[in-house]
A = this chain, B = another copy of it.
Amino acid sequence: MASRVLPTNFDVDYVISYRMPQDDKEAGITQFKKLIRGLAEIGLTTEVRRGDETSLLVFVRAADEKIFADVVYRSRIKDWLHGVRQLQPSNDPAQTLTSEPLTVAERHRHIHHMICCPREEGGAGITPKHSEWKNVEAVFPLHDHVKNKAWLTEFTRKTFLTPGDLDEIRNTVGEKIGYYYAFLQSYFSFMIFPAAFGFSCWVLLGNYSPIYAIVNGLWCVVFIEYWKRQERELAIRWNVKRVSLIEDKRREFESEKVTTDPVTGEKVAYFPAKKRLQRQLLQIPLAALCVVALGAVICICYAIEIFISEVYDGPLKSILVFLPTILLTLAVPTISNYLTGFAEKLTFYENYETQDAHDRAMISKVFVINFITSYTAIFLTSFVYVPFASILVPYLDIFGLTVNAFAENEKQLAAPSPAAFSINPNRLRNQMIYFAVTAQVVNFAMETVMPVVTQRGTKKFKEIKSQRAEKHGGTTPSVADHDPPEEKEFLTRVREEAALPEYDVTSDLREMCIQFGYLSLFSVIWPLTPVSYFINNWIELRGDTFKLTVECRRPNPARADSIGPWLDSLEFLAWLGSITSAALVYMFSGGDGQGPDGRPHAIKLWALLLSVFVSEHTFLLVRLLVRTAISKLDSAAMRKERSERFMVRRKYLEEAGLGHAVRPLASPPNSPLMTESGEHAFASITKQSLEEDARDQSVSTSSSAESATERFWMRQRNWAECERVGLAMIDLMDLGTHKGKKVQ
């Protein structure tokens, strides 16, 4: 498992893993030829080696730095046209690489783009696992083991990542993952406050404290608004502002018809938006299906659990109590996988033109499914079990029929009378502790420890198998036997990396988003929640780094200027939190896990609704204020960006020979009136002389409309005369002070 550090990658830019199809060798060979030729055509050098038993590894390197510089230059022009870059790249492609050196991630991104973008746009058009390229199993860069090892040790030593570390991550694996780390880092740092405050509340105020709820809600708002701003600042820092506007066509997009654009004359694949909208309406039944399918399973398991743990008192109780958990563990992932598959199909059916729109649509569906699987149980406890348990629990008797056989006597099974039954006051808190602590530990184990164990196991199993095969027949030669000795170690490592799964940053973001949901929706139940998450997130970041660098293939770098649609999810959860927190505080504060006066049915609906109403609208108002305040604060990065933009504009205006301060010179006076003394010589102009002037002209010329205009403008031949006439007119005025006094 990459425990050895191999310092060299033999200058390999990318590796393509080509799996020979088992059934059609001829087709496999044809396609392989096409692959090699395609790569050669766009100027990439290739070397081929054996992968595992039935696959080949094609090593790719940018052969000609000039061709590669062209690719980079073209991409920069495109960036500039989309407003990602301020300055138009200089016209000399040769200077592209020297004037602005590429980071590793950028180099990888360009090579990946060359390999994968369509042939019409100058790429090899290889789409891994899709249509004619379904034999291409993976296209991936190689890990930098030295750097990876350094990261792991460095991050483990630090509490907080520095901006430099984030830059380093971005330079190595691209902005998309960089944004995830930046988010996790911001979230973690911000968590200090609720962790400390939550701990104090836990000590001083206990659970369900309204003060905690208010502070927590405020924190959620401030964090989200702060992060939005942080996103923008990072976009400036990483030069990715507006990259989300560069819309890469989805290869899977199926146009209904190809029309010719009347303006550009270009062939355009067209799919009517109305038709897509109709297809999107299918999301409503899908959401309903999610609610019904998942909701039903969770509700049933929940009911069984309550029945067994709190009503049932028959034999095998100690075993039966695990039944609902087992059912849940089996059913929920199955159903949710099934639904996710369904959602994926629907998203494909919706047929988006761009990858971005596709991902966005998919994420919103995934969020709905995750929302239901994550929060239904605790919603049930809060808003169904606690207020209505005494009414509903007796009905759980219907299960009694099935358990009847095991029950020793009627008494054991009989549901308690409503008066006798008392709700379990600690259930809600225990559930929250489970989500805040146990679930996080389990999750970490599943996500980070499990893959290691599985991979080690598989490796061991293969080794044993091949050893046994050697013993029995000795005829199965290892593919590594043909490796040149100096490449042996390297190729072994590449084979291992090729076998690793892809790193999916979306699922990590989803996890954080769900965690934020627990915090905003339910943490008022147990104020230690943020403390637990604070600790968890420290480990999470290191675990994710381990996953990214050791357990997964190196990801293809992608650009991003935001964490994308997850931001909307966070906003939604914070909003919903303002509702649930208020309801929980109203319902449970005072007692511990019980209604205001100890009995849940003493909850007054109007008071509950009023607290929710007030809380929600206060939340919205505060959010507006915080948003306005934060948006108005200036930052160094933003100032810098503005200055740069200004520079660009000034440059253009100056290039156009029209700097902003350029002005025509004052026209020279045509009359000798300019001198100070001369100016007053004509100040004594009289009413008569003015009138005569006018009459002179009105008589001498003809009176057509055109010449009237001409005459209008020729009365005062230049600005000096205009000034003179104006002054004469002023002299004729009856200005209160001077003349008025004279007359008197």
Contact = CB atoms under 8 A, between A and B. Distances in A.
Interface string A280-299: 10000000000000000000
A735 B54 contact: yes
A264 B487 contact: no
A40 interface: yes
Interface string A1-36: 000000110110000000010111100110011001
Nearest to A722: B46
Contact of A664 (B43, B49, B77): B43
Contact of A643 (B42, B264, B609): B264
Nearest to A91: B656
Interface in A49-108: 49-50, 53-54, 56, 58-59, 61, 67, 70, 73-74, 77-78, 81, 83, 91, 93
Contact of A652 (B81, B646, B666): B81
A22 B735 contact: yes
Interface stretch (A147-155, A389-397, A584-592, A629-637): A629-637
A647 to B, nearest CB: 5
Contacts of A644: 263
Contacts of A41: 663-667
A158 interface: no
A663 B122 CA distance: 5
B640 A263 contact: yes
Nearest to A690: B482
A733 B53 contact: yes
A636 B484 CA distance: 62
Contacts of A78: 649, 653
Interface string A703-733: 1010011011101101100110111011011
Contact of A610 (B67, B121, B609): B609
Interface in A576-635: 604-606, 609-610, 612-613, 629, 632-634
Contact of A58 (B47, B612, B726): B726
A454 interface: no
Given A264-B650, A661-B122, A36 B737 contact: no
A658 interface: yes
Contacts of A609: 606, 609-610, 613
Stoichiometry (number of copies): 2
Nearest to A281: B629
A687 interface: yes
Query: Which has the most chain B C-beta neighbours within 10 Å: A11, A61, A735?
Result: A735
A92 to B, nearest CB: 10
Contacts of A40: 666-667, 718-719, 722
A410 interface: no
Contacts of A157: none
A81 B648 contact: yes
Contacts of A648: 81
Contact of A10 (B36, B485, B664, B713): B713
A629 B726 CA distance: 62
A23 B667 CA distance: 32
Interface in A354-384: none
A483 B664 CA distance: 33
A181 to B, nearest CB: 28
Interface stretch (A250-258, A270-278, A303-311): A270-278
Main secondary structure of the interface of A (DSSP, over half): helix
A711 to B, nearest CB: 7
Interface in A219-267: 261-264, 266
Contacts of A663: 41-42, 119, 122
Nearest to A122: B663
Contacts of A735: 20, 22, 25, 54
Interface residues of A, number: 127
A81 B649 contact: yes
Contacts of A53: 733-734
Contacts of A81: 648-649, 652-653
A666 B37 contact: yes
Contact of A713 (B45, B50, B664, B719): B45
B667 A712 contact: no
B729 A50 contact: yes
Interface stretch (A198-206, A553-561, A691-699): A691-699
A586 B550 CA distance: 62
A54 B734 contact: yes
A661 B117 CA distance: 11
B42 A664 contact: yes
A273 B229 CA distance: 15
Interface string A439-452: 00000000000000
Contacts of A640: 263
Contacts of A665: 41
A28 B708 contact: no
Nearest to A651: B81
Nearest to A662: B122
Given A264-B650, A632-B273, A727 B47 contact: no
A652 B709 contact: no
A402 B391 CA distance: 59
Nearest to A53: B734
Nearest to A663: B122
A738 B20 CA distance: 12
A300 interface: no
Contact of A48 (B33, B726, B734): B726
A707 to B, nearest CB: 10
A7 B58 CA distance: 81
A498 interface: no
Contact of A634 (B122, B273, B716): B273
22 contacts: A10-B708, A11-B712, A11-B713, A20-B730, A25-B735, A28-B730, A32-B730, A36-B726, A42-B664, A47-B712, A48-B723, A48-B725, A50-B732, A54-B733, A61-B713, A81-B653, A261-B639, A264-B643, A273-B632, A277-B629, A486-B703, A486-B711
Instruction: Please list the 10 inter-chain residue pairs (A to B) with the smallest Cβ-Cβ separation, ordered nearest first.
Output: A40-B719, A606-B606, A609-B609, A263-B643, A605-B606, A48-B726, A484-B694, A10-B712, A22-B736, A41-B666
Given A20-B730, A50-B732, 17 more contacts: A25-B730, A25-B735, A39-B719, A40-B719, A43-B667, A46-B716, A81-B652, A120-B661, A261-B643, A263-B647, A264-B646, A264-B650, A272-B634, A274-B633, A482-B690, A484-B715, A609-B613
